Amino acid sequence: MNTNLNHQSKISVLFVCLGNICRSPLAEGVFRQIVEDQGLGDQFLIESAGTGSWHVGERPDGRAILVAQQHGINLDSRARQILEEDFSRFDYIIAMDRDNLRVLNKLKAEINSSTQITLLRSHDPDGSGEDEVPDPYYGGASGFENVYQLVKESCKGLLQQLRLA
């Protein structure tokens, strides 16, 4: 697995939630911004996907777009469902919650992949024992701000761990 930031091939990271319109596109945008702010944009391939197919082709939820914009981040992805080939394309697949982690680990076992799958919050140095990014879909705007803050801290930790690997 490629974790050396000086290596010529890119480190590939795929963020995954249920529908790929709230949490995972927000994580994709936040992580991309953090990576670019560190001058490492050319060393990473960063995408997002969902375990479900309900929103394929759609833009992220308007509330996710708004909270991202409020923090200077552009979300330009389109929802897609995770594919078998993602398990060979990506070095790291990062799940937002335990349900999606279970689905991803089941798919990984079925295709005998060596891709590393973790929960995003496991990379938050101040995670205070919580391991999931809550789904803000059925809540209000404040839930999206909360998710942004959780994602931001976890993405900072993820990049730090990748730089130390």
Active site residues: 17, 23, 135
Bridge partner residues of 95 (DSSP)? 16, 119
Classify each residue of 118-133 as buried b or exposed e, where b means 16 or more C-beta atoms within 10 Å of its C-beta.
Answer: bbbbbbbeebeeeebb
Question: What are the angstrom distances between the C-alpha of 86 and each of 10, 67, 113?
Answer: 15, 28, 10
CA distance 63 to 94: 22
54, 55, 35: which is closest to 43 by C-alpha? 35
